[in-house]
Amino acid sequence: AQSVAQPEDQVNVAEGNPLTVKCTYSVSGNPYLFWYVQYPNRGLQFLLKYITGDNLVKGSYGFEAEFNKSQTSFHLKKPSALVSDSALYFCAVRGSNDYKLSFGAGTTVTVRA
Amino acid sequence: DAGVIQSPRHEVTEMGQEVTLRCKPISGHNSLFWYRQTMMRGLELLIYFNNNVPIDDSGMPEDRFSAKMPNASFSTLKIQPSEPRDSAVYFCASSPLGQGYGYTFGSGTRLTVV
């Protein structure tokens, strides 16, 4: 079985400070990892993914994520957060033998001006 | 590409009525997923299809819920009869087949059952 844990329900940061949203996963075989963002009253939007290759993946809106196989983690990062980054963030994983993505519970990010 | 299209965007209905939610996936995407999102339970996978065939419907909460995909460009999620606890945002998502692909989500249907 595959699963995702997002240990923090909420993350609060000041604008201009670094932002990190944590994600750990459990999966059989090689993981395929994804981050999505959801703004109020909108659907989930794709941010970035890790399939293979470099452990540091760059995505939309200045976000990046680092794949760490030994720690089974895929934390989302942004060097300098903006107020407009305030949203709900979901981490998701798919194993090499599964068609469906498993989503974490989500982390609400609030960036204060 | 117009993305995944869901209709209606909002639906308010009375308890006991039938509700039908609609989804048009992205052309060429072979997989389609229905999710439900609530504050209490978060994002729940209800059912998914590969090549129009239901693969896993274990997330469908009750027999009141049913989903169909008669062709590659259309799917429906039906609730009959509806109950207030069905109030939620229902999302449809589609994806090409293959583990390396993520999903593209629609904008959702906000269902309110009164």
Q: What is the pLDDT of residue A36?
A: 96
Q: In the predicted model, what is the mean pLDDT of residues B77-94?
A: 97
* pLDDT tens track for A15-26: 999 999 999 999
Q: What is the pLDDT of residue B100?
A: 78
Q: What is the pLDDT of residue B1?
A: 66
Q: In the predicted model, what is the mean pLDDT of residues A76-100?
A: 92
Query: By mean pLDDT, which of A17-21, A104-108, B93-97 is the weakest?
Result: B93-97
Q: Which of B99, B101, B105, B112 to mutate to test the interface with A (most CBs of A within 10 A)?
A: B99
Q: What is the pLDDT of residue A99?
A: 76
Q: What is the pLDDT of residue B72?
A: 94
The torsion of the CA quartet B43, A28, A93, A57, rounded to 10 degrees, works out to: 170
pLDDT band at A29 (very low <50, low <70, confident <90, very high): confident
Q: What percent of chain B has pLDDT over 90?
A: 87
Residue B98, pLDDT > 80, answer: no
User: Who among A42, A51, A98 is closest to B100 (CB)?
Assistant: A51
* pLDDT tens track for B16-33: 999 999 999 999 999 999
Residue A33, pLDDT > 80, answer: yes
Q: Tell me phi and psi for residue A111, to 5 degrees.
A: -110, 115
Residue A109, pLDDT > 70, answer: yes
> Which residues of A make CB contacts under 8 Å with B?
32, 34, 36, 41-46, 49, 51, 90, 92, 94-96, 98-101, 103, 105-106
Distance CA B3, CA A106 (A): 23
pLDDT band at B101 (very low <50, low <70, confident <90, very high): confident
Q: In the predicted model, what is the mean pLDDT of residues A88-99?
A: 88
Q: Return the residue of A nearest to B48 by Cα.
A: A100
SS3 A45: strand
Residue B45, pLDDT > 70, answer: yes
The Cβ of residue A27 has, within 10 Å, a number of other Cβ atoms equal to: 20
Spatial neighbors of A4 by CB under 8 A, at least 6 apart, are A23, A24, A25, A26, A91, A92, A93, A102, A103, A104
Contact B49, B70 (CB under 8 A): no
Distance CA B56, CA A101 (A): 13
3-state helix, strand, coil in chain A (%, to 5): 5, 50, 45
pLDDT band at A100 (very low <50, low <70, confident <90, very high): confident
In this structure, chain B runs to a length of 114
Q: In the predicted model, what is the mean pLDDT of residues A34-48?
A: 93
